[in-house]
Structure 1
Amino acid sequence: MRDIRIIRSRHLHKIQRRHFIIFDVLPFLGTLIALGLLFYRPIRALEIGLFFSMWLITGFGLTVGYHRLFTHRAFSTSVAMSCIFIVMGSMAGRGPMISWVAMHRRHHELSDHEGDLHSPNLHGTTFFGRLLGFLHAHLTWMIEHDYPNVAHYVPDLMAERRLVAVNRQYYAWVLLGLFIPAAIGGLVSGSWWGALTGFLWGGIVRMFVVEQSMSAINSVMHTFGSRPFFTRDDHSRNLGVMALLVWGEGWHNNHHAFPYSAAFGLRWFEFDPGFLLIRLLELTGLAWNVKVPSREKIALRRARQQVQAEPEAAAELERG
């Protein structure tokens, strides 16, 4: 029986391969060029500032906009602010918002099970199988994959005409994300060299680093780390260092346990920059209906994890 939730199309596969070359292969080559130019002229504070500012803007566009707002409806905001988040996320070059959300909703539906587009855990348990799975989750799945049917996965977003209109300008927003650091670099330094290095470090290198960071959520965060919550047989994990590198996304097991939550870090020491931005927006009246699980729900879920772990530990002792 045909699965209406996905679309298999040679035309879409061609588009996916083209996107992979433009937004994954070329930024890698551009990063090599930027590193090579360091032998000619060392990196300056201007390039570092452009890199980190664009990394933060596009990262927040992905984690706060694409992920928490549009995929999980973890908070509400105005149409204007929603459009701004689409632009911020699009500048990362990780795909149009509607496509990204459809793929991520399918990921949660089938996490680490057959049909999950980027699970590292579906290629066997041998060393080679684990390595192949990790490579698939981190990179090669993007070359060609089934396309989630947006009519099934994102009907709520498809009904928002203004969001759809902004989403359609994806390539224009990507170019904007490259133009901004190039223009700032050129104007501040007063030279074409500053425009070039601004383009490279604030645009190309930043795009490559953001891609690696987002891919690590698929590969690293479903392979390494702790599992404080039982999450329907998926392998989502927490890794604190990744929370620093990926705007709070490192608390991935927390997120799979409470996907509706605007906060991925659920304890005071679980640093979550994305949630800090949402709280700031809430304080200024730009966000509302911010969803966070109660302490009781968190405690109940942790207790469930302990109950689940006891038979697993007993079985491990028997095997030992």
Structure 2
Amino acid sequence: MELVAFFVIHWYASLFFQSVFHHRYAAHGLFTMSRTMEKLFYLGCFFTQGSSYMSASAYGIMHRLHHAHTDTESDPHSPKNTPSILGMLWSTRNNYFNIYSGKTEVDEKFKKNLPDWKSFEKITHNWIVRVMWIGIYTSIYIHFATAWWMFLFLPITCAMASLQGAAVNWWAHKFGYVNFRVNNTSKNILPIDLIFWGEAYHNNHHRYPNNPNNSAKWFEIDPGYYMMKLLDKLGIIRLKTLAPTV
């Protein structure tokens, strides 16, 4: 039971920081925050993503490229370019690290207003730290697992943030329903998205990428949006007033 609780808490904690900080803040700039709060969010990303920790600035660039080149050869994570979810995951991994290391030349327009904490990522964004996190996760599973099959979830724990992003970006361009006609294959995966914090409303998001609320129909619920509204009320962030333009 303890391991199940750990997995669920880890899933949603990691998803919160990827959805709110990496996606809606870094990539789309849907809200502002102080430098101090930005650093606290960096720490939150590190402690929740662990061995799958991602740079917010590299993620932001990659996702902006996805919107600019959706479903084309220049899309850094399109299922149209790879035959399987594992292939897309590996391709996304390579594109991400090429962006992070500077091997991929990126137009300056995709680099504007990104969060950046280079000194922090010199410590956190390396293979030694990733292996240390894997060791921590493995020890947790050894201590709390009560059946062999529980260890099947260990790889998911180790690659949590990467798999969450891949799940949305692969499934939401393969399966689902469409609210808006757009010039790409984006779809909404779930009518009520409590699994991906509103990130599953991918078709809605591609239609209105600067709308902080990914939901559109009456039955769609975007937990990420309501969390941002709460953070705004608490003075932790300041939501921008943005027109829902394409």
- TM-score, structure 2 length as denominator? 0.76
**1:87 corresponds to which residue?**
43
One-letter amino acid of the counterpart of residue 69, structure 1: Y
Report whether the alignment pairs 1:50 with 2:6. Answer: yes
For 1:258, give the aligned amino acid: Y
Is 1:99 the counterpart of 2:58? The answer is yes
CA distance in structure 2 between the aligned counterparts of 1:176 and 1:274, rounded to whole angstroms: 30
Q: Determine whether 1:74 maps to 2:24.
A: no
2:113 to 141, 156, 166: 156
AA in 1 matched with 2:223 = P
Q: What are the Cα deviations for residues 245-273 of structure 1, in whole angstroms up to 9, with x where unaligned? A: 22211000111111112211234421212
Q: Report 1:1-320 matches (<5 A).
A: 45-90=1-46, 91-92=48-49, 93-122=52-81, 132=83, 135-137=86-88, 139-142=89-92, 144-145=94-95, 147=99, 148-149=104-105, 152=108, 153-157=110-114, 163-171=117-125, 193-194=143-144, 205-231=156-182, 233-240=183-190, 243-291=193-241, 293=243
Q: What RMSD in Å do the two structures reach over aligned CA positions?
A: 3.5
CA contact (8 A) 2:192 2:221 kept: no
Specify the code of the residue in structure 2 equivalent to 1:244: L
Is the Cα–Cα contact under 8 Å of residues 15 and 164 in structure 2 kept in the other structure? no
Residue 143 of structure 1: CA displacement?
5.5
Matches of 1:177 and 1:75 in 2, distance apart?
Answer: 30
Q: CA deviation at 1:60?
A: 0.7
Could you say what secondary structure the match of 1:279 adopts? helix
Within 1, Cα distance between the matches of 2:113 and 2:169?
25
Alpha carbons of structure 1 residues 203 and 255: separation in structure 2 relative to 1, 3 Å: same
How far did 1:164 drift?
Answer: 3.5
Q: Distance in 2 between matches of 1:266 and 1:216?
A: 21
Distance 1:179 1:242 in 2: 36
Report the AA paired with residue 115 of structure 1: S
User: Structure 1 residues 77 and 106 mapped into 2: Cα distance closer, same or farther (>3 Å)?
Assistant: same
Aligned-pair CA distance for 1:95: 2.6
Partner residue in 2 for 1:18? none
Segments of 5+ residues of structure 2 without an aligned counterpart are none
CA distance in 1, matches of 2:152, 2:26: 29
Aligned length: 231
Distance 2:77 2:2 in 1: 36
Contact 1:248 1:272 in 2 (8 A): yes
CA distance in 2: counterparts of 1:293 and 1:245, whole angstroms: 27
| Offset, 1:211 | 3.1
* TM-score, scaled to structure 1: 0.60
Structure of greater Rg = 1
**Shift in alpha-carbon separation, 1:87–1:175, aligned structure 2, 3 A:** farther
Task: From the two aligned structures, give the one with the greater helix fraction.
Answer: 1
